[in-house]
Amino acid sequence: MTSDRAGRKIRVLHVVAMQVRWLCFEWLCEELDRERFELSFLLVTAGEPALAAFLGERGIPFRHLRYRGMRSLPAIIAAVARHCRRHRIDVVHTHFFPGCMAGLIGALLAGVPVRVYTRHSVANHGFFPRRVAYDRLFNALATAIVAPDRMVQTVLVEWEKVAPAKVRVIHHGFDLERFRRPPAAAVQALAAKYGIAGAWPVVGVVARYVEHKGVHYIVPAFAEVRRRYPGAKLVLANARGDYSPIAAQLAALPPGSYVEIPFEDEIAALYPLFDVFVHTPVDPWAEGFGQVYVEALAAGVPSLVTPSGVAGELLEHGRNAWVVGFRSSPEILAGLLHLLAEPELRAALGSAGQASVAPAFALAPMMRSLEALYGSLCEAAGP
């Protein structure tokens, strides 16, 4: 197989609907084989996308298509189609709802032969049932679907009846060293910024305030931990969303016992401040992947979790994480108290966690798999 189409590089367009910083797209730009592929982006967001500055600094072509809700989609779809025709795009790869809607339909209208989308979420079945119809539409429009883990593959093939050959399991890849060894100065700066220095134990959470993330099961457990450990602090990162029970639970905690961080750009420097990391989605398919599982393990933080998304493949209770049942504040509390009382166990889980994510979740395996996928699909599509 050659690496080009008609003597040129394969032109890959990513259509992304993500306004805040998401490191995986930056890593994609840095690691994709630029000898074989010509990379560009369309950013479909309401406000200024964080990725735009990164792309501009590196000279990677991009365009911002402003998303103002469903009514703006026809114009965005038309813009995607025009862009694909003008630049003779070979592969369109889409991400998140507006990006998939505009990117897949626009690519089809433009006659793009290879249309890929990454299924970042499977929670639609339990929490956003109206979105399931859109998922099925995306499944039909795409020529291939990237499933970040086996759980997503199962949902696509068994629940949504997608042909197995259409689904490719490609785990998200990470700059693991970024999480293993963040700069000490950055860690210290965040400790001071958020008032974490000197607190013990620090219980860390990185999850939005939506029902399926299960934060409302963590807060009551922490309230009891705080009664037993008066210096305990709860750190809630990515703390944005509208699930109202969480606000009432936090209001009942002692003043100064928790800190909310809506978004932290240097998330890798935050993990070392946690004595225990907690992530408790409410069922096995609540996470489409669960990047925070890998991030916390790569950082060497002992983790107390429920097995959702990739955790079902990656985590083993008592070996590289402490696994508890779904929707259970008592189990979360019991696990926290056990880990806090056992420093040797925390150290063992942290060490085993780091070992379990390398090299399978490094950047190189993901990038080589994506490159192989693009190349094979283009070859099958013909010149």
- Asked whether the domain spanning 176-357 has the same topology as the one spanning 4-173+362-381, the reply is yes
Residue 270 CB neighbours (<10 A): 24
State the Cα–Cα distance between residues 14 and 18, nearest whole angstrom.
12
**How many CB atoms lie under 10 A from the CB of residue 188?**
14
Q: For 191, what's the count of Cα atoms within 13 Å in the CB-facing half-sphere? A: 16
Domain covering 176-357 in this structure, CATH number: 3.40.50.2000
User: Which ranges constitute the DSSP H helices of the chain?
Assistant: 23-31, 51-57, 73-86, 97-110, 124-127, 129-141, 150-154, 176-180, 184-193, 215-228, 245-251, 291-298, 311-314, 329-340, 343-357, 363-381
pLDDT reported for residue 131: 81
Residue 176 has, within 13 A of its CA and on its CB side, a CA count of 21
Residue 124 confidence (pLDDT): 59
* Mean of the per-residue pLDDT values of the chain: 94
For residues 346-374, give the mean pLDDT.
95
The model's confidence at residue 127, banded by pLDDT at 50, 70 and 90, is low
pLDDT score of 125? 58
DSSP E strand boundaries for 231-315: 233-237, 258-261, 276-279, 303-305
- Asked whether the beta carbons of 237 and 206 are under 8 A apart, the reply is yes
Is the previous residue joined to 201 through a cis bond, with omega within 30 degrees of 0? Answer: yes
Task: Read off the amino acid at residue 36.
Answer: R
Q: Tell me which of 204 and 285 has the higher pLDDT.
A: 204
| CA nearest to 299, candidates 159, 190, 157, 374 | 190
Q: Are 235 and 194 in contact (CB under 8 A)?
A: yes
Instruction: Please tell me the predicted confidence (pLDDT) of residue 1.
Output: 38
Contact 326, 283 (CB under 8 A): yes
Q: Residue 126: its pLDDT value, please? A: 59
Q: What is the pLDDT of residue 242?
A: 87
pLDDT category at 123 given cuts 50, 70, 90 is: low
Residue 257 dihedral angles phi and psi, to the nearest 5° = -90, -5
Tell me: the pLDDT tens digits for 154-178? Answer: 999 999 999 999 999 999 999 999 9
Nearest to 249 by CA among 286, 215, 207: 215
The maximal CA–CA distance of the chain, rounded, in angstroms, is: 69
Amino acid at 73: L
Contact present, 321 and 353 (Cβ < 8 Å): yes
Sorted by where each begins, the domain ranges of the chain are 4-173+362-381, 176-357
- Return d(Cα 60, Cα 1) in angstroms, integer: 26
Give percent of the chain with pLDDT exceeding 70: 96
pLDDT for residue 99 is more than 90:
yes
Q: Are 133 and 101 in contact (CB under 8 A)?
A: no
CATH number for the region 4-173+362-381 comes to: 3.40.50.2000
